[in-house]
Amino acid sequence: MSSVGRFFLISFSLMAATFYLPAIIFYPFIGEYLNSYYTFDGAPHIYVFVMYTLYIFFLFFFSYVLDKTPRIRLLKLPRSLSMGLVTIVIILFLISCIYFFIYHNSAFRHASRLKDASVFVTLMFLLRPIINFYIVFSLLYVINGKSIGKNNKLLLWAVFIGFVLSINSSLHIVSIVLLFFLLVTPSIYKIKFSIRFIFISMLLCPVLVYMVLVVGVGNKIGYASVLSTSGLEYLTQHVGLYMARVSSSTYSIATVGESFLNSTFNFDQGIYAIKSTFSNRYNSIFHPGSFDFEMIETINRYNYLVVFENHAPRAGASPGVLASMLYFPYFPAGLMMVPLFHALVTRSLSFHIKGDVNAGAISYLAIPFFLIMFFESPLDILYVIDPFFISVFVLFLFNFVSMEKVLSK
């Protein structure tokens, strides 16, 4: 396997693991609390181990086959046209972020619904995955030994400003920090795993975790409160809750896996969710009068109802990679189709790298982090009328753009 193929295989494997490691680490300390927070009772380790092993096996198999498959030579758009399109997308994104900053705040996800938002806010959410692809290409360009051109640096600074103005999720802090490093000290993405890397990580990780917590809790109780003495007490008192929330992917596969072994798993739920969601969204476009605004029949909603002990009216929970392999229609197709999907994504990204990859330790997680939607709920692509499907289609269209030439400008 080529160095590019190995890089993506390792990076996707590591990123998938980060969804499950927290619960494995936390369980010996707060296992009783986790078992009361979720419907699953017991240690989830074995389900994670079995399904993760299957995921890695098929990801390696498909990645290896695709890596050995000759590349299809596609016609590329002229650099000037490609650069123009990238610039327009980033300008639209920045404008929509400015609008969001003026009329909304970071609590948007908790206080508002996207269907009630303006076209600018909708545009911001639609463009963000595409912007993330642009950042991924920029990171790949850097670890390929190149320096980003002056014009693209200005565009990345525009993206950085947009990210700062449009914070509405705790993980957005991570995006901002990673993008800042790319702009100010891109060499950090070439630092190999070493004593130096461990030292830098020990300094930065606690600060980053604190910032993520501040934004996450600040969205709910306000930043003035969370930064006060009472806010520190709130964080301390709810530390178990935060640990539980980052364990949802682990308990999703444990719950679904157990119901599968007990023969109580509803194999038709995935098909039903896809058909009903597609039908309702189809009506929203072609038969607006028959669109049901209150209907939530997605896989995320079903997963939330079966995994969590207590339920909110319209909440959902992303199943993660491993549970998605079981939710995929027509079992056991999902055991292979989800890893194949990831292998195809990495293959598409590899077209933008020439030669070997000189990736540092942080690159193995930074690049898939900007592709996190592929790990949270990969089955969203099957709804077709969905932002996720549009994003994947745009990623395919990027194959007609020579990002190497664009980023050099």
Q: Where does the pLDDT of residue 136 fall: very low under 50, low under 70, confident under 90, or very high at 90 and above?
A: very high
Both tokens of 24, joined, read: 């494995």
Q: Who contacts 41 (Cβ-Cβ below 8 Å, separation ≥6)?
A: 35
The whole model's pTM is what? 0.91
pLDDT reported for residue 115: 66
% of the chain with per-residue pLDDT over 70: 94
Q: Are 234 and 225 in contact (CB under 8 A)?
A: yes
Strand partners, 38: 308
pLDDT reported for residue 203: 82
Is residue 98 over pLDDT 70? yes
Helix, coil or strand: residue 367: helix
Q: Where does the pLDDT of residue 288 fall: very low under 50, low under 70, confident under 90, or very high at 90 and above?
A: confident
Q: Where does the pLDDT of residue 202 fall: very low under 50, low under 70, confident under 90, or very high at 90 and above?
A: confident
Vertex 244 angle, CA 239 and 248, to 5°: 150
Helix, coil or strand: residue 38: strand
Amino acid residing at 91: I
407 closest CA partner among 75, 2, 133: 133
| Each residue's pLDDT tens digit, 289-337 | 776 666 778 899 999 999 998 888 778 889 999 999 999 988 899 999 9
pLDDT reported for residue 108: 73
Please tell me which residue, 231 or 24, carries the higher pLDDT value. Answer: 24
- Determine the structural domain holding residue 346 and report its residue range: 3-407
The DSSP code sequence of 149-201 is -HHHHHHHHHHHHHHHHT--STTHHHHHHHHHHHHH-GGGGG--SSHHHHHHH
CB atoms within 10 A of CB 331: 14
Q: Where does the pLDDT of residue 13 fall: very low under 50, low under 70, confident under 90, or very high at 90 and above?
A: very high
Please tell me which residue, 118 or 299, carries the higher pLDDT value. Answer: 299
Q: Where does the pLDDT of residue 88 fall: very low under 50, low under 70, confident under 90, or very high at 90 and above?
A: very high
Number of residues written out for the chain: 409
Strand partners, 308: 38
| Each residue's pLDDT tens digit, 155-187 | 999 999 999 999 988 889 999 999 999 999 999
Q: Where does the pLDDT of residue 113 fall: very low under 50, low under 70, confident under 90, or very high at 90 and above?
A: low
pLDDT reported for residue 291: 66
What's the rounded Cα separation, in Å, for the pair 9 and 363? Answer: 13
310 closest CA partner among 249, 262, 266, 245: 245
**How many structural domains compose the chain?**
1
DSSP 308: B
Is residue 109 over pLDDT 80? no
- Share in percent of the chain as helix, strand, coil (round to 5): 75, 0, 25
In this predicted structure, which of 25-29, 70-74, 239-243, 305-309 has the lowest mean pLDDT? 70-74
pLDDT, mean of residues 386-400: 91
pLDDT reported for residue 82: 92
CB atoms within 10 A of CB 223: 16
CB atoms within 10 A of CB 219: 21
How far, rounded to the nearest angstrom, does the alpha carbon of residue 356 sit from its chain's CA centroid?
26
- What's the alpha-carbon Rg for the chain, to the nearest Å? 21
Alpha helices in 185-332 (DSSP H): 195-221, 223-226, 229-237, 239-245, 248-261, 269-286, 299-307, 320-327
What's the rounded Cα separation, in Å, for the pair 189 and 135? Answer: 13
pLDDT reported for residue 139: 95
| Each residue's pLDDT tens digit, 255-276 | 999 999 998 888 888 898 999 8
DSSP 117: S
Q: Are 139 and 403 in contact (CB under 8 A)?
A: no
What's the rounded Cα separation, in Å, for the pair 251 and 244? Answer: 9
Amino acid residing at 203: L
Q: Where does the pLDDT of residue 16 fall: very low under 50, low under 70, confident under 90, or very high at 90 and above?
A: very high
CB atoms within 10 A of CB 325: 26
% of the chain with per-residue pLDDT over 90: 56
What's the rounded Cα separation, in Å, for the pair 144 and 141? Answer: 5
What's the rounded Cα separation, in Å, for the pair 275 and 265? Answer: 19
Amino acid residing at 323: A
